[in-house]
Amino acid sequence: MIKTSITVTAKQMQEIEERIFSEGMPVASLMEKAAVFASQKITQLYPLNLYQKVGFIIGCGHNGGDGLVIARELFLQGFQVSLYIPLREKSKDLTKQHLQYAEFLGIASVEFIEDLSTCDFIVDCLFGFGLTRNIEGKLREDIIWLNQQSIPVVSIDIPSGIHTDTGNVLGIAVKAVYTLCLGLWKVGLFLSSAVEYTGSLHLIEIGIPESLLMGEGIRNDDDEREEKNPPLYPPNSEERKREKNQTENVNYSFHCQYVSETNPRIITKEDVKNCLPLPRHVNTHKYKQGNLLLICGSNQYAGAALLAGYGAKCGGSGMITFAVPHGLKKTLISHFPWALVIGLPVKEEGTIISLRNLDLNKYDAIAFGMGIGREVSAYQEQTLAPILNSEVPLIIDADGLNILAEGRYWQTIKQRKSPTILTPHIGEFKRLFPQLNLSENSLEVLKMASKMTNTTILLKGAKTLVSEKGINNWIVNLGTPALARGGSGDVLSGFLGAVIAQTNFNIFPVSKVVATCGWLHQQGGILAAQNHTEMGVDGVTLSEYINKAVVKTLGD
């Protein structure tokens, strides 16, 4: 269902809302519906037999109006309700009316936010998507006080202070335990800057018609399922390469009056199930299941090559070849007896200086950069340049990205016909695109970067974002700080490589497959942390749990 995966900006939400009102839905009815459903969710989270005293922070706009309806519903059920209304004088008409009725019912107002200090929980309805500028003065002090309390806070629509579109904090923001988002997901909730404010996210369904969100040409998941088992071609045939690797005709663009084709979607479990290279064709063989080349490692960072190998192992490609400094050959073979290992020439410091005469075009995917070390930069003509000139889908990570950051290859990358996937963390992204300011609007900046470079970029962090050429954009709404540990990214690159090697890009857009891998990587981390705590998720453990995440996802 598109409603549960699409994300919108404040302007888009306002336009959708205006259309609904102009078609006859009364404003007050939509507010009533949203707020009553939100109040039902709140009573599930905080049942009256356990939590009696509830405080509300009521703003002057319709977020405050929602709050007053919720307050009324909880009051009528028997909760002891207190309202703190700092912008009372500015209240919009509908908000004023709800306030008048709340007062008629006898719901108490308090003068200071500190008067809510004995509440069992607090509902934050100060600002929703109407917040456009920094919160200052007394309101700022109020939020500082609130964030210092140990009282759980439920934010309605968005934590007050978070910018709906960028997720940035406008001066100060409420730290919620739960955010009940109304109608459609607001994109800012999923951006890294909002992570520590939103708490657990819940979407409150308010009946926005799907017809307002669907556009012509949207691809539906049933089409994908039918096409999932394409005809098999002989390995390495020209026809197969053309089919598999060229992506020009595939995107998920849809043209809807209110929601842009570039609006990011949240990758769902159903998307993930659909995108995995499963089930296999009964008559397949190893060369039809993806032939992956991992070019990685150095004497100094041998572990990165191993972790990429463990990641690739759980990605299941039919053939995996490592091209590593020749000194690492034995180690690699001892860990991965099923892989081919090619030793490459090295400089004294143990970094790769050439790919010798590797036939790069025979692979279905190449992952480059994990643990290769910065010194490879001096040998980029013999390493990165031939890789970029190959006609194979590429994943470039770590020091591979640092070579790209020198800026010599963007033109070559732009002209590549096969997918190029870059997997920077925030620091690497900033080095790659020093002219772009990631903290301003991380999503728009990411879109710009992937469009400019004709690539798919997976931006790593507490939230994983994916953008393919600025058009197909995905949010991975899963994450665990257990992965904040050296080597987690190497596992992801190997896993991505193995899945990409098996993917027919005529069926799935690159971005969706990349987001699928990002989702399973995080889900693996979450499952691993459940059994080993957040302290126990090293890269090898993580890779085992990525496979468990695949099993669990298919079984759910």
Give the residue numbers of the binding site for (6S)-NADPHX.
Answer: 62-66, 128-134, 157, 304, 371, 425, 490
Q: How many CB atoms neighbour CB 497 within 10 A? A: 33
Q: Does 17 bind ligand NPW (CB under 6 A)?
A: yes
**Beta strands per DSSP E along 177-289:** 178-182, 185-186, 200-204, 265-266
Decide: 482 and 537 in contact? Cβ < 8 Å.
yes
CB 482, min distance to ligand ADP, A: 8
Binding mask 101-140 for K ion (x = CB under 5 A): -----------------------x----------------
Decide: 360 and 330 in contact? Cβ < 8 Å.
no
- Count H helices and E strands in the chain, helices first: 20, 19
CB 157, min distance to K ion, A: 5
Cis peptide before 159 (omega within 30 of 0): no
Residue 135 contact among ligand NPW, ligand ADP, K ion, none, beta carbon within 5 to 8 Å by kind: ligand NPW
Q: Give the amino acid at 144.
A: I
Count the helix, strand and coil residues of the chain and give each as a percent rounded to the nearest 5. Answer: 45, 15, 40
Decide: 262 and 465 in contact? Cβ < 8 Å.
no
| Helices 302-315 and 539-555: angle between axes, nearest 10 degrees | 10
Which listed range, 29-37, 71-79, 246-254, 486-494, lies at the site for ligand NPW (CB under 6 A)? 29-37
- Residue closer to K ion (CB basis): 57 or 445: 57
In three-state secondary structure terms, 359 is: coil
Residue nearest to K ion (CB): 160
> From residue 336, how far is each of 299, 340, 341, 524 by CA, in Å?
18, 8, 9, 21
Pick one of 155, 423, 441, 450: the residue that binds K ion (CB under 5 A): 155
Residue 492 contact among K ion, ligand NPW, ligand ADP, none, beta carbon within 5 to 8 Å by kind: ligand ADP
CA–chain centroid gap for 154, Å, is 23
Q: Give the amino acid at 538.
A: D
In three-state secondary structure terms, 172 is: coil
Decide: 108 and 125 in contact? Cβ < 8 Å.
no
Q: Does 130 bind ligand NPW (CB under 6 A)?
A: yes
Pick one of 6, 34, 319, 332: the residue that binds ligand NPW (CB under 6 A): 34
CB 128, min distance to K ion, A: 5
Which listed range, 57-65, 274-282, 295-303, 407-415, lies at the site for ligand NPW (CB under 6 A)? 57-65
Q: Give the amino acid at 106.
A: G
CB 344, min distance to ligand ADP, A: 21
CB 398, min distance to ligand ADP, A: 6
CB 72, min distance to ligand NPW, A: 14
Decide: 519 and 476 in contact? Cβ < 8 Å.
yes
Q: Does 85 bind ligand NPW (CB under 6 A)?
A: no
- Residue closer to K ion (CB basis): 66 or 397: 66
Pick one of 5, 63, 263, 402: the residue that binds ligand NPW (CB under 6 A): 63
Q: Give the amino acid at 265.
A: R
CB 8, min distance to ligand NPW, A: 9
Residue 155 contact among K ion, ligand NPW, ligand ADP, none, beta carbon within 5 to 8 Å by kind: K ion
Residue 240 contact among ligand NPW, ligand ADP, K ion, none, beta carbon within 5 to 8 Å by kind: none
CB 102, min distance to ligand ADP, A: 40
Residue 186 contact among ligand NPW, K ion, ligand ADP, none, beta carbon within 5 to 8 Å by kind: none
Whole-number Å distance between alpha carbons of 149 and 405:
44
Interacting residue ranges for ligand ADP, rule: CB under 6 A: 398, 425, 460-462, 464, 479-481, 483-484, 486-490, 492, 521
Pick one of 55, 61, 419, 518: the residue that binds ligand NPW (CB under 6 A): 61
Decide: 72 and 106 in contact? Cβ < 8 Å.
no
In this structure, are strands 456-459 and 464-468 parallel, antiparallel, or unpaired?
antiparallel
In three-state secondary structure terms, 457 is: strand
Q: How many CB atoms neighbour CB 287 within 10 A? A: 14
Pick one of 128, 199, 373, 509: the residue that binds ligand NPW (CB under 6 A): 128
Decide: 470 and 451 in contact? Cβ < 8 Å.
yes
Q: Detail the residues annotated as belonging to a binding site.
A: 62-66, 124, 128-134, 157, 160, 304, 371, 425, 460-464, 489-490
CB 134, min distance to ligand NPW, A: 6
Pick one of 8, 30, 328, 537: the residue that binds ligand NPW (CB under 6 A): 30
Decide: 435 and 163 in contact? Cβ < 8 Å.
no
* 285's tokens: 């063989």
Q: Give the amino acid at 459.
A: L
CB 57, min distance to ligand NPW, A: 12
β-partners of residue 56 are 83, 123
Binding mask 137-176 for ligand NPW (x = CB under 6 A): -------------------xx-------------------
Q: Is 476 left (phi over 0), alpha (psi -120 to 50) or beta?
A: beta
- Residue closer to ligand ADP (CB basis): 453 or 522: 522
Whole-number Å distance between alpha carbons of 450 and 398:
17
CB 379, min distance to ligand ADP, A: 21
- Residue closer to ligand NPW (CB basis): 93 or 216: 93
Q: What DSSP state is assigned to residue 237?
A: -
Segments in 297-420 forming alpha helices (H): 302-315, 329-335, 384-389, 399-404, 410-415
Which listed range, 27-35, 347-355, 388-396, 510-518, lies at the site for ligand NPW (CB under 6 A)? 27-35
Pick one of 55, 159, 167, 183: the residue that binds ligand NPW (CB under 6 A): 183
Residue ranges in contact with ligand NPW by CB under 6 A:
13, 17, 30-31, 34, 59-66, 92, 127-135, 156-157, 182-183
Residue ranges in contact with K ion by CB under 5 A:
124, 155-156, 160
